[in-house]
Amino acid sequence: MRSRRWPVIAMIGLALAIGAGANAVEQNHLASGWHTVARGDEGGDLTVGNLQVHVHGAVASPVLDDDEPVTSPGSFVLVDLSYATTDSWFLPESPVLVDGDGREYTEPSGFGSAGGVWMAGPDIWYRGGLLFEVPTDVVDDLSIEFRPERTQALLPSTVLRVPLTVSLSAEPLVLGYPTVLAEGER
């Protein structure tokens, strides 16, 4: 009997193992999207996927100078950073701010393209500012999260999270367009 039983047991085991594996992949990677979180610090060159970033810092203010002053019920946060790619020109996925409770904040709408993501080239760095709007009580506990291009949406990905040092300002924040940097500059 044993010799007839083992192929059946092996097949059932194989089917269960593949099913469990597929379920684990679906639950941990596909359903939750971005998966692995890499950590980095301000002031250094960091790489995630095909994106190279260098975060200089951030400033928060309740007022934004958008032709005329705009006052937020919370705070505007302008993140000063540079980035380039490793391979080709492309427009990165918009980074998000994440607070200590894991809540995410995206670029506010209505302020034009200044303050949003820009195209960068392979080892061709640009420096500019990304605008966000957050509740004032989370300003001192924010990280910026970069989500690089996913060539295969079904595959798990890595994101890069950089804790921000946010300085407070009473002056209105001013948006500008990014500028290309000389070789070696950040």
Element (H, E) at 81: strand 68-85
Q: How far apart are CA 50 and CA 148, in angstroms?
A: 7
| Residue 168 contacts another protein per CB under 8 A | no
| Residue 121 contacts another protein per CB under 8 A | yes
Q: Which residues pair with 71 in a beta bridge?
A: 63
Site residues (CB under 8 A) for another protein, limited to 6-25? 7-8, 10-11, 14-15, 18
Looking at the Cβ atoms of 3 and 109, the one nearer to another protein is 3
| Residue 119 contacts another protein per CB under 8 A | yes
CA dihedral 17, 22, 23, 29 (to 10 degrees): 140
Q: How far apart are CA 55 and CA 41, in angstroms?
A: 8
**Rounded to the nearest whole angstrom, what is the least distance from the CB of residue 79 to another protein in the complex?**
22
**Rounded to the nearest whole angstrom, what is the least distance from the CB of residue 93 to another protein in the complex?**
17
Structure tokens at 52: 């190279």
Q: Which of 123, 137, 140, 174 binds another protein (CB under 8 A)?
A: 123
- Contact set with another protein (CB under 8 A): 1-4, 7-8, 10-11, 14-15, 18, 86-89, 119, 121-124, 151-154, 180-184
